[in-house]
Amino acid sequence: MGRHLQFMRFFAGHPTAANLLMIIALFFGFISIGELQRETFPHFAATKVEISVPYPGATAEEVEEAVSQRIENAVRDVNNVLEIKSESRENLGRVEVEMYEDADIGRFLDEIKTEVEAIDDFPDQTEVPVIRELGRTDSVVSIAVSGPMSVSDLKLYCEALKDRLLLLPEVSLVEISGFSEHQFRVEIPAATLMQYGLSVVEISDAIARQNIDLPAGTLETPGSDISVRFKDERRTLKEYEDLLIISRTTGEEVRLGEIATITDLFENEEEKILFNGKRAGLLKIQKLTTEDSLRIIKVIRDFIEQERQASPPGVSFSLTQNRTDIIKDRLTMLSRNAIQGLILVFITLWLFFTFRLSFWVAMGLPVSFMATFFFMKSFGLSINMLTMVGLLLALGLLMDDAIVISENVMTQLTKGKNSLDAAVEGTGQVTLGVFSSYITTMVVFGSIPLMLEGEMGKVLWVLPVVLLLTLSVSLIEAFFILPNHLVHSLKNYDHNKRNLFRVKFESLFEKVRHKVLGRLVDSAVKWRYLFIGLLIAVMLFSMGMIGGGRVKIVGFPEIDGDVLQARILAPQGTPLEEMESIVKHVVNSIMQVNTNLKPRQPGNQDLIQNVVVHYSQNLDAHETGPHVATVSVDLLAAEIRTSDLETVTGQWRQEVGSIPRVINITYKEPAIGPGGLPIDIRLQGEDLTQMKRASLELLAWLKQYEGVFDLQDDLRPGKPEIQVRMKPGALARGLNSSMIAGQLRAALFGRTANEIQVGSESYEIDVQVSRQDQNSLSDLENFYVTDAEGNLYPLGEVAYLEQGRGIARIQRVNSQRTVSVQGDINPQVTNAQEVIKDTEKRFLKGLIQKYPGVTYSLEGQQKETGKTGKSMMKAFMFGIFGVFILLSFQLKSYVEALIVMVAIPFSLIGVIWGHVLMGLDLSTVSMMGFVSLAGVVINDSILLVEFIRMGVEEGKEVVEAAKQASRQRFRAVLLTSLTTIAGLLPLLAEKSLQAQVLTPLVTSLVFGLIASTGLVLIVVPCLYSILSDFGRKPAGARQ
C-alpha cells in the first residue's frame, strides 16, 4: 500500500482526526471572517502621486509656465514614471505622476518629494507644494448639519462635531465642506486711501507690525526661570478696530476702524452647500483602504443618535451620499444567492445520492469556505462582489472532486467491500485523476492574476485567486475529511434497499442515458463528418455575430448606485446670483421627476430622498468659482426602487432642457467605474487655438450619433481679462512695473496681513479696497498708484488697459498640451465601441490631416478594455498552452490532448448564444467568465477520454468504446456540470439592479457549461471515431 493510501486510511479510520481537521478549518475561518474588510470592488494598490501648488491671483498660462512645467521637468527623471499629467488653472497648478504597476509607491513618493522640494525658482507668491499619494482613502458617508444659526456658528458647530467624531476609534478621517477660508476682511474706500496718501500695502504692513505674538527669551532669576513673551496679537473685530494705523508728530492718530470696514466672513461667498434647500455644513467621513465601511457606518449612526439628544433645538443631522448601503445591499444579495445555490447543489446531489451521502459531500463547501476566509485574511483580500462570485463558482467546482470520489467509493461498495476499504481504495484510485484535474484548473486560473493588466484587471484578478484558494483547501477536505464521513454514512448501506422515488428516478435516468443520449451519440458517430462540419459552421456563425455587430462588445458593465449628480458648467465670470437661478431650475426638475416616478415605487415611496447643492464644485470641469455647481440627489436604495439610473437620468435631462448661458450639464454617478468613460478622446499639440478648433469639430461630429450625450471638451475660455502694461513715461515719474503690479494686486486681490488662530479655526487678516470701488472699469482707470514719495497717479495715466480673455484650464500629458473630448452614451440606444470605431475610421484621420500639429489617442473605456482584454487573452493562451503540455504528457499524445481541449472553443457557442438569449452585450466580465470556463470544461473531457481508453484496453473497437464511454460517464459528467450550474443559477436569475455587473460573467459560465457538457458527450466520441478511420488508437491503450 502506498504512503498516500496509508495516510488516507489513518484519517478515514481514526475516530476523531478528520473531524478535528474540520473543526480547525471552521474555527480559523470563524475568527477570520469577522475581521475581513467588506467593500463593493477590491481595492488595488495606489500608483499615482499628486503635487499641487497654489499660486493665488495667477492665470492658467502663468501657472503653466511658472509652476506646472517646472514640476514636470523635475519629476521626469524619477524612476518608474509611466505618465505625467498636469493641469494649470487660475490660482492653482496640479501635477499627477503615475508609476508602473509593479513599482514601490513608498520609494516613488519619496523620490518625487525630493525632486519637488529641490525646485527653488517658483514665484514668491506661490504657496508651499502639497505632495500626497492618491487612492489611499475612500468615501464612506457624509453628515449634513443644518440649523437656525449664522454661517460662522454653523462652521464652529461642525468643527466641534469633527473633533468628537475623531475621538471614535473607528473614525480616522473627517473633512468639513461647505465653507471657504475664514477671514477678518479689512476694506478701505479708495477715497480714504487718497485722503491719507496710503496704499493697501502700507496698511497691511502696519497691521502686521502691530499684531505680534512672539517669544522674547528667558529671565534667569535666583528663584526660577521666567519666560518673556511679546503678546500683542489681536483676535477680535473690536481689537482690530482699535488698532493704530497713523500716528503723526502733530498728535494726529487714526485707528483702523475709522478708515476701514472690518468684517468677519468667509473668503468666497460661492463656496456653500444647501441640503434640501437649507444652508448646511457637510462632514465627509472617509476611510483608509484597510478600514471597513460597514463597521464605520454603524458607529456613525450611533454617534448621530447621541448628538440628536444633546443638540440645540432646530439642529438636524442627516446621512447623505451613503456608500455603505450599496456595499451592504450587494453583499447581502450575493449571500442570499450563495445560500440558494448551496441548497440547489444539495438537491442536485440528493437526486443522485442518498441523503446522508449528499449531506457529507455538501459539507465540504462550508469547511472549504471557512478555511478560505482564513487565507483571504492572511493574504489581505476582502469580501467584495468578485470574491463572492469566486466562492459562488467554487460551489460547483468543489463538488467535482467530491462527486468523483463519492461515486467511485459507491462503486467499490457495490463490489462487496466494507465501508472503510471502499472509502480508502475508491479515493486512492481517483487520486491521480483528481490531482491532475486540479493542476489543469490551477494552470488556467493561475495565469489570469499573473497577467491581467489595466484598471479592470486590478478589479477582476481576485476572482481566480479566491477560486484557487478554495480549490486548494478543498483538496485537503476531499482526501482526508470526506473519506471518514463516507465510512460512517455508508457503513450500513445496502444497494438493494432503495425507496420508491430512488427506483423511479434511476429508471428515468437510465432511459435518458440510453434512449436519448445513446441514440444521439450513435447518430452523431454514424454521421460524424457531417456533424463535426455542422458544429464548426455553428461556431463560425456564432463568432460571426460578434464581427457583424449582432452581439455588441462593451467595456465594464455599468452598475447602478444610489447617488446621481448634475454637474453644471457656465461661462467663467457668471455671477453667483445667476448660478443660483440655474440651480433652482435643475432642482425643481428633479423634484418633478420624483413626482412622475413616485407612483411606480414600492409603497409609493419618494424616489428622491435628499437633494444636496454644492456651489463652486464641478469635478468634470476641474474648475471652482461661482460659474460651476453640482446638484447631488440621494435615491431610494437600488434594492428597493423600480426605476434604474438610465430612466431617472433621461427624465431629469428632459425636464431640465436647454438653459441659456449654460455651457454644459452632465448627469452621472459620483464615481467612474474601472472601465472609464465610454467616450474619451485625447487631442495633443502645442497650438491651443488649433486644438480648440479640432475639438469643436470632433464634438460636432459626435453629436450626430443617437444616444450620445453629455459631450464636452476641457479647453474653455477663462474670465474676461484686462491686461495692464506700463506706459513709457511712467518710469520717469518714479514708478516701475513691480510697484504698479504689487499695488494693483494688493488692492483688488487683497493682501494677507497676518494669520491668527481663534479656537480651532484659523483666520486670515485680509486687506483690500472696498468692493464698491472695484466693480466697474472706471474704478480701475481711476485707481491711484502711489510712488515712493507718496505721490498719487491715476492708473490710466501711467499704464495701458487692454481687454482680452485667457484660458480657464490648460492640461498637459507627458509635457504636451492636451484637450480631452469626453461624453457618455445610452447603452440601450448605441454602443460606445461602434461609435469610436466609426469616428476613427470616417473622421479622425481626416481631422489630423486638416490640423497637422494635432495628434489623437483613445482613452477611457477603449484604452482600458483593450489593455485588459489583450492581457486576458494572453493569460488565456498561456493557460491553454500549459494545459496542452500537461495533457500531452499525461495522455502521451498531442492529438488526444487537442481532443480533450476541444470543449473550450465549443463552449464559446454557449457563451455567445447565452448573451443573445439574456439580451446582454459581451463585456470584459463576460470574457473573464469564458476564460474561467476553460478551467472547468476540460475536466469533463478528461473523464470521457479515460473511459474510452479503458474500453479499448478491454478489447472493444475505438468507435464502440467511444459510444459506450459517453453512456458510462453520463452521470458523472452531468452531475459535475449540474452542481456548478446549480450553484450559479440563483445569480443568473437575479433581477436586482446590483447583479448587473455579474450577470455577464455568470451567463458565460452557465451557458458555456450547458453547451460544453452536451457537446463533449457527443463530439469527443465523434473525434475518436474519426481518428479510428485513419487507423489511430488511443496512445498507451493496450489491446
DSSP-based three-state secondary structure for 803: strand
Q: Is residue 251 over pLDDT 80?
A: no
Neighbours of 525 (CB within 10 A): 21
Class at the top of the CATH hierarchy for domain 136-321+740-784: alpha beta
> Where in the chain are the domains?
1-35+326-490+505-555+865-1030, 47-134, 136-321+740-784, 560-672, 678-727+798-858
Average pLDDT rounded to a whole number, residues 795-800: 86
Q: Is residue 486 over pLDDT 90?
A: no
246-255, 564-573, 747-756, 969-978: least confident range: 246-255
CA 510, 511, 514, 516 torsion: positive or negative? negative
Class of residue 673 by CB neighbours under 10 A (exposed 0-12, middle 13-18, buried 19+): buried
Over residues 835-881, the pLDDT tens digits come to 998 999 999 989 999 999 899 999 888 887 778 878 888 888 888 88
Q: Angle at the Cα of 500 (from 495 to 505), degrees rounded to 5?
A: 80
CB 880 within 8 A of CB 448: no
Neighbours of 730 (CB within 10 A): 21
Over residues 378-437, the pLDDT tens digits come to 888 888 878 887 887 777 677 777 877 887 787 777 777 787 888 888 787 777 777 877
Average pLDDT, the chain: 85
Q: Which comes out higher in pLDDT, residue 494 or 333? A: 333
Q: Is residue 497 over pLDDT 80?
A: no
Residue 206 C-alpha cell reads as 502696519
Q: Is residue 484 over pLDDT 50?
A: yes
Q: How confident is the model at residue 495 (pLDDT cuts 50, 70, 90)?
A: low
| Percent share of the chain, pLDDT over 90 | 25
Residue 959 C-alpha cell reads as 468507435
Q: DSSP for 697-732? A: HHHHHHTTSTTEEEEEES--EEEEEEEEEE-GGGGG
Closest CA to 324 of 559, 135, 139: 139
CB 707 within 8 A of CB 829: yes
Over residues 154-194, the pLDDT tens digits come to 998 999 999 999 999 999 899 999 998 888 889 988 888 88
What pLDDT is attached to residue 19? Answer: 87
CA 952, 955, 959, 963 torsion: positive or negative? negative
Class at the top of the CATH hierarchy for domain 1-35+326-490+505-555+865-1030: mainly alpha
Q: Is residue 303 over pLDDT 90?
A: yes
**Angstrom distance (rounded) from CA 614 to CA 628:** 9
Over residues 59-113, the pLDDT tens digits come to 888 999 999 999 999 999 899 999 999 999 888 999 999 998 888 888 999 999 9
The overall longest dimension of the chain from CA atoms, in Å, is 129
Fold of 678-727+798-858: Alpha-Beta Plaits (3.30.70)
Closest CA to 682 of 83, 127, 159: 83
Class of residue 663 by CB neighbours under 10 A (exposed 0-12, middle 13-18, buried 19+): middle
CB 59 within 8 A of CB 404: no
- DSSP H helices in 598-644: none
DSSP-based three-state secondary structure for 691: helix
Is domain 560-672 annotated with CATH 3.40.50.1980?
A: no
Q: Do domains 1-35+326-490+505-555+865-1030 and 678-727+798-858 have the same CATH topology?
A: no
What pLDDT is attached to residue 498? Answer: 64
CB 590 within 8 A of CB 609: no
CA torsion 374-378-381-382 (nearest 10°) is 50
Q: Is residue 475 over pLDDT 50?
A: yes
CA 544, 547, 552, 556 torsion: positive or negative? positive
Fold of 47-134: Alpha-Beta Plaits (3.30.70)
What pLDDT is attached to residue 1037? Answer: 52
